[in-house]
Amino acid sequence: MLPLSAQQRDMDTKGKKIILGSGSPRRKELLEGLGITFIVDTGNSFDEAYSPETPHEKIPEILAEGKSQGFHRKLESNEILMTSDTLVICDDHVMGKPHCREEAINMLRLLSGRMHKVITAVTVRDSSRMKTVSDTALVYFKQLSDNEIEYYVDNYRPFDKAGAYGIQEWIGYIGIDRIEGSYFTIMGLPVHHAYALLLEFIG
């Protein structure tokens, strides 16, 4: 049996400073799970907009790259910036974050009893290059009652979540029959892709 170290060591980033350009507590939690030392810096001038003609599957990539390019300052030669965007698509409806209680309830009614796609893109950039990877997962919800939907919205207030829900919260416990793909992509960061990209940029 291997002895346990007194303190877990973070991954060697070879002198590179990792910046997470997202205020999402879930992305912060997932990146921490990779054992990487990083800082959070959400300073950004990007307006999260895209052309109506944009193919739905490409929207998260465009927004993740836009957030990267809209970072509020120039990156130093030893810095690596990570940004991300998540989108929910159901019956050709593109669902971002709800702006109010009624919108959140309507989103969950649409998802109830159906399968939907969750697409999360992650962009990694340093001072000389940028790369984006996108990942898709399928989520199958059971038929949700109005009482269940309203209970969740009123108690968890999912106004910062695409599709008005977090898989790691109560609605995920009681409402999701099955998923196809990465659980972490649904949470908001495809960590397997994020890890591979960081290794590539760290060198």
The residue type found at 136 is: T
* Sign of the alpha-carbon torsion through 67, 111, 175, 136: negative
- 10 Å Cβ neighbour count for 147? 8
Q: What angle do CA 150, 151, 155 make, to 5 degrees?
A: 115
The residue type found at 155 is: N
Could you give the CA distance from residue 150 to residue 129 in angstroms, rounded to a whole number?
A: 45
Q: Which residue has the tokens 């990779």?
A: 34
Catalytic option among 10, 12, 47, 85: 85
- 10 Å Cβ neighbour count for 35? 12
Contact present, 185 and 145 (Cβ < 8 Å): no
64 Cβ contact partners less than 8 Å away, ≥ 6 residues apart: 83, 84, 85, 121, 122, 123, 132
Residue 85 annotated in active site? yes
Catalytic residues, by residue number, are: 85
